[in-house]
């Protein structure tokens, strides 16, 4: 079964044809999707998508771009929202020092609240990181030192050193359409060294459409192109890549029953 571990089905880009997008995903062999919360104020919309479909689950959290939206967001609030049905992860959260759309100190403060919520709920932490490798590694190691939790380094494009630090922490990694981009040799080199039993795949739709769809709005139906690139990088058959990523997904998101 193909599993898209990171979709944004509540996004405005899908407002006119969300049902058709979901139908095309199923036709392409995508048997399960995890729709991601970008900010707590969007959670009701995200959760509604999951509740409307047996094969869609969701997370709760606030992206670093949106951390400024609610500077008082705390682990208690995240834990309370995570009690709702079909919520299986905390995030997307993390650090983005490329765009700096929220102040860095606010990003760090809010990220630590998400880590605390993951620790308390037992749900995996969905982590976004960009141009923050050293700080991200330090925070994750510190938070893990306070009590272990599962984490997924979503759409991983950071360096080999942070990947090694996260691997030592037991992290999973997700591969996105970026792996298909011509200029992404460094990304493919890191993917080649990721722990084989902790790799999952995602589209991050509507963003980052893979080659040969690059430049279009991304959809879960394009996931097979990402699986094929992962198989090529790792030297796996398509069947092996599908089996490995499926097993890794359910090992990580163990709150989702296997069909």
Residue 128: which of 146, 101, 147, 148 has the closest Cα? 101
61 belongs to a structural domain: yes
Q: Which two tokens stand for residue 194?
A: 């990721």
259 belongs to a structural domain: no
Q: Tell me the pLDDT tens digit for each residue of 4-63.
A: 999 999 999 999 999 999 999 999 999 999 999 999 999 999 999 999 999 999 999 999
pLDDT score for 89: 98
Residue 191: which of 153, 223, 218 has the closest Cα? 153
257 belongs to a structural domain: no
258 belongs to a structural domain: no
93 belongs to a structural domain: yes
Q: Tell me the pLDDT tens digit for each residue of 61-82.
A: 999 999 999 999 999 999 999 9
pLDDT score for 259: 83
Q: Please state whether 131 falls in left (phi above 0), alpha (psi between -120 and 50) or beta.
A: left
Task: Kindly report the number of other CB atoms within 10 A of residue 174's CB atom.
Answer: 26
Q: Residue 247 burial by CB count (10 A; 0-12/13-18/19+): exposed, middle or buried?
A: middle
pTM confidence score: 0.97
Domain with residue 177: its CATH number is 3.20.20.140
47 belongs to a structural domain: yes
> Residue 254's pLDDT band (boundaries 50, 70, 90)?
very high
Q: Cα(22)–Cα(50) distance, rounded to whole angstroms?
A: 12
Report how many domains make up the chain.
1
Residue 67: which of 8, 112, 107, 126 has the closest Cα? 107
Residues linked to residue 56 through DSSP beta bridges, in sequence order: 33
6 belongs to a structural domain: yes
Q: Which two tokens stand for residue 84?
A: 């709702």
148 belongs to a structural domain: yes
Percent of the chain exceeding pLDDT 90 equals 100
The whole domain housing 28 covers 2-252
Percent of the chain exceeding pLDDT 70 equals 100
């Amino acid at each position: 079964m193909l599993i898209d571990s990171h979709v944004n089905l509540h996004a405005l880009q899908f407002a006119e044809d969300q049902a058709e997008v979901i139908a095309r995903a199923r036709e392409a062999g995508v048997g399960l999707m995890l729709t991601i919360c970008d900010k707590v104020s969007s959670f009701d919309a995200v959760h509604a998508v999951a509740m409307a479909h047996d094969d869609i689950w969701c997370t709760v959290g606030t992206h670093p771009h949106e951390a400024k939206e609610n500077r008082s967001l705390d682990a208690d609030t995240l834990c309370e929202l995570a009690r709702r049905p079909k919520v299986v992860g905390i995030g997307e959260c993390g650090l983005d020092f490329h765009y700096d759309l929220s102040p860095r100190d606010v990003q760090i403060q809010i990220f630590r609240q998400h880590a605390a919520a993951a620790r308390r709920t037992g749900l995996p932490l969905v982590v976004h990181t960009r141009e923050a490798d050293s700080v991200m590694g330090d925070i994750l190691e510190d938070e893990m030192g306070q009590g272990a939790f599962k984490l997924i380094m979503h759409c991983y494009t950071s360096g080999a050193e942070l990947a090694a630090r996260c691997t030592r922490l037991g992290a999973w990694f997700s591969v996105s359409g970026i792996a298909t981009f011509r200029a992404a040799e460094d990304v493919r080199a890191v993917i080649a060294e990721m722990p084989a039993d902790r790799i999952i795949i995602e589209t991050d739709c509507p963003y980052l459409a893979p080659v040969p769809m690059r430049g279009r709005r991304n959809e879960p139906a394009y996931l097979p192109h990402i699986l094929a690139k992962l198989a090529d990088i790792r030297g796996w058959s398509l069947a092996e890549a599908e089996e490995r990523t499926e097993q890794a997904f359910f090992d990580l998101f163990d709150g989702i029953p296997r069909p």
